[in-house]
Amino acid sequence: MKLFSALYSRVMQWSRHKYATYWLALVSFTESSCFLVPPDVMLAPMSLAKPHKAWFYAGLTTVASVVGGLFGYLIGTFAFDMIQPWLVSLNYMHAYELAESWFAQWGFWAIFLAGFTPIPYKIFTIASGALGMALIPFIIGSTIGRGLRFFLVAGLMRWGGEDLETKLHLWVDRIGWATIVLIGMVYFIVR
């Protein structure tokens, strides 16, 4: 069944769209404070589709993400009581409490790690503001962490280029179904 290859072809088509750059910036901004989809899902195919623009896309994603992180910081500073029910409803309070303990223990390094790893960055941006983290270390940590992550993704796609795009198209169905089977197995084992 060629479900994933059709989806892959569609994503690659979207990544070449004339407005894709604007959507990438918007997703990068919103993901840092409230949106659930990471910008990597747009950055990777866009960098793969146009390898000569990979560094531009990584830079745009980094800047938009850090600016979005500043928005998250402001939410934490001025509106935490308003968004706390949202964090509870999405089961993010445990992650928020983890962020609090990380800030107490590591400060700057907590925002750096949250920016680089798949940990929900938005929780850390909001926690940074709520806990009163100094703004300059927040910006520096966010820029370095997010920049490393996004330039790594774009660099890998640029390095792979057209060869990687072709190979992924050949293997995407097998990879997709293997991932679904793996997720199903993990679900039933953990449950």
Residue 96 and residue 87: Cα distance in Å, rounded?
A: 8
CB 53 within 8 A of CB 157: no
pLDDT on residue 7: 60
Residue 119 has pLDDT above 80, yes or no: no
Q: For the CA atoms of the chain, what is the radius of gyration?
A: 18
Amino acid at 171: W
Domain that holds residue 148: 3-190
Long-range contacts: 146-149, Cβ < 8 Å, 24+?
A: 146/61, 146/62, 146/65, 146/66, 146/69, 146/115, 146/116, 146/121, 147/58, 147/62, 148/115, 148/116, 149/40, 149/115, 149/116, 149/117
Whether 137 has a pLDDT exceeding 60, the answer reads yes
Q: Give the percent of the chain with pLDDT over 70.
A: 86
- Over residues 162-171, mean pLDDT: 65
Q: pTM of the prediction? A: 0.78
Stretch 132-159: mean pLDDT, rounded?
Answer: 92
Number of domains in the chain: 1
C-alpha–C-alpha distance, residues 103 and 152, integer Å: 25
* pLDDT of res. 75: 92
Contact between residue 95 and residue 125 where contact means Cβ atoms under 8 Å apart = no
Question: How sure is the predictor about 108, in pLDDT bands with cuts at 50, 70 and 90?
Answer: confident
